[in-house]
Amino acid sequence: MTVEKKTPEVPYANWRQMVAKYQQPDVRKAVWQIINSFGGLLLLWALMYWSLSVGYWLTLLLAFPAAGFAIRIFIIQHDCGHGSFFKAKQNNHTIGTVCSLFTFTPYLYWRKSHAIHHAHHAELEERGIGDIWTLTVDEYRNASRMKRLVYRVFRNPFFLFVIAPAVNFIILQRFVLPGQDKWKRHERASVLWTNIALLALYGTLSWLIGWQAVLLIQLPITIISSSAGTFMFYVQHQFERTYWEHTPEWDYTLAAMHGSSYYQLPRILQWFTGNIGFHHIHHLSPRIPNYRLQACHDENPTLQEVMHLTIGKSLQTMSLVLWEEKQRRLISFAEARR
């Protein structure tokens, strides 16, 4: 697959001046987003409970828009983690923590791993936390047979976008993973407190309407939202002419603008995903709240000179699995064999 990429002649030297005015949170927009996101999910949750008496086919249909609202709530949690949703730090922490009960993602623990992702995105020596496992061609060829097999399974689209997301959000987010047990105490503790809160919330719901009903409603919402969210994150960074660099030459601005894409979605999907398709803008300045990303993109032509992906083009990226350092592009297993 060959995707044409526009590269500006002049690097983004004055990007800080460009983004400055978009970094101010708007309380009215933030509160309205909370109302329509949580309100939409709770309404659909109630409709899904009612639909169980009609037919499970209807419940599953309703799970798709419900998953969209769950993704939107994750974006709110995401912005709170960056301190961009509200001006007050405590307000961000409070709303981010509430969101975690709907996203199954411990707020403070996830915030730490996501901060590492932003600090070292596309830096070859710093892979491993908050990103999609990616090997270079040479690393893959020099790996043991077992490691190559595990990597091929991991990068299989069915595993990566169907199985892994559900396992991650339902199971792995319940534990402090190896290598992260030295993080700050309150970050590690957020995993435990989130688990306790989830047990209390869904235990109460199970007592009120039965555990079978809770499972039949919440499981498809979580599976769909986690799969869609994982694919969104994947295509924002894993395209053919993306950016990866070794530490001495790694550049924050280039990593943001050339290592992140502009995912051009239909309006309804852009709304459900909280404008995260403007991912290059987000990586350039994480302090811009999601409801200001489009304005920043539209009003600054220089920031539009990045990789544009549509849904059709994004589907083609699933075969790109290895970073070819000499050609500076992601390639498929078939290309690596050649």
Tens-place pLDDT, residues 212-244: 999 999 999 999 999 999 999 999 999 999 999
Phi, psi of 26 (to 5 degrees): -120, 110
Tens-place pLDDT, residues 114-161: 999 999 999 999 998 889 999 999 999 999 999 999 999 999 999 999
Phi, psi of 263 (to 5 degrees): -90, 105
Tens-place pLDDT, residues 269-324: 999 999 999 999 999 999 999 999 999 999 999 999 899 999 999 999 999 999 99
pLDDT at 18 over 80: yes
Tokens of 209: 């309407």
How sure is the predictor about 2, in pLDDT bands with cuts at 50, 70 and 90?
Answer: very low
Residue-range domain boundaries for the chain: 15-337
Instruction: Output the pLDDT for position 128.
Output: 86
pLDDT at 1 over 90: no
Residue with tokens 């990303």: 293
Tokens of 135: 């090997």
Q: Which of 165, 171, 205, 168 is nearest to 45 (CA)?
A: 205
Contact yes or no for 146/207 (Cβ under 8 A): no
Q: How far apart are the first and last CA of the chain?
A: 15
Burial readout 290-316 (b: 16 or more C-beta within 10 A, e: otherwise): bbbbeebbeebeebbbbbbbeeebbee
Instruction: Output the pLDDT for position 215.
Output: 98
